[in-house]
Amino acid sequence: MTELKNDRFLRALQRQPVDQTPIWMMRQAGRYLPEYRATRQQAGSFLDLCKNAELACEVTMQPLRRYPMDAAILFSDILTVPDALGLGLYFEEGEGPRFHKTVRSEADLAGLNSIKADDDLGYVMNAVRTIRTELNGLVPLIGFTGSPWTLATYMVEGGSSKDFAQVKAMAYDKPELMHNLLSLLADAVADYLAAQIRAGAQAVQIFDTWGGSLSAAAYQEFSLKYMQQIIARLQADPATRAVPVIVFTKGGGQWLNAIADCGAQGVGIDWTTEIGAARAQIGNRVALQGNMDPSMLYASPARIREEVASILAGYGHGSGHVFNLGHGITPGVNPDHVTAFVDAVREFSPQYHQGV
């Protein structure tokens, strides 16, 4: 593989010295970019876009042509694994993801497909290989997955949910069934991430989007436990152990100590957690990723610059910070405001790395 021209992101994840704070942005390839919308229309559907390696590569590269990001992230979806398991993923306009089938019983669980990531999700690996070739060492490529708990919420609810009534009822009333589902998903996700790494992903992120919906005890039991299992499997394999893992639990700021001990090299935090307090709490155990409120990108460029400066000052001097939003960028953001965001990180962050 081609040698990396910019390894700032990977160095920061290992808490090694860098010249400036690296930056990438969750959902950086997405609907806020007019060129993405054009490619999406060309693809015909969101899933067709995900499954076409050349078009997935194109939308992965689009933000890098506009902004000096320090990492690319694979263009795909967290629900590829449940789709391969046989639930029938589709997208309802204005309603988000939906499944034709749900998992609410032992019979439903037994009826899931047995999958092997290299075969059943081969289109994702094709996209990873295509993107790595196109990047030609420009920046590292991040692969990703949903956490077992987050995937389970969609599989049990049948789509997005406001109250998670079905999945929480299963967790609390039928914990054995829930653990059987989560164990199956942990195995599938570990296989999926390992396949992405073999195909060329240089870091991976586990999106635990709905872990923050749980109580403290339930988070440990139904979410964090299974992410720990995935990371342990990756670290036990010589072919995958050197690739850093980032865990991002939206709403997980109250459990930072436990998350920092899960085995990941990086922990993502959302905008509800003050980054200086997070660093003081976890010390040098892991790198921190985040954490500007995505809605700040609707503010003026001057206000965006103020917020970037505040977050950088909050983290303070030294490496171990990957600048990001506290969740994904939203579709209505003006792309010029992203320019102000990225430029501010570039301008203000070097002072925090001098003499380190």
Known binding residues for substrate are 27-31, 77, 154, 209, 327
Catalytic residues: 27, 31, 40, 77, 154
The 3-state secondary structure of the chain reads: CCCCCCCHHHHHHCCCCCCCCCECCCCCCCCCCHHHHHHHHHHCCHHHHHHCHHHHHHHHHHHHHHCCCCCEECCCCCCHHHHHHHHCEEEECCCEEEECCCCCCHHHHHCCCCCCHHHHCHHHHHHHHHHHHHHCCCCCEEEEEECHHHHHHHHHHCECCCCCHHHHHHHHHCHHHHHHHHHHHHHHHHHHHHHHHHHCCCEEEEEECCHHHCCHHHHHHHHHHHHHHHHHHHHHCCCCCCCCEEEEECCCHHHHHHHHCCCCCEEECCCCCCHHHHHHHHCCCCEEEEEECHHHHHCCHHHHHHHHHHHHHHHCCCCCEEEEECCCCCCCCCHHHHHHHHHHHHHHHHHHCCCC
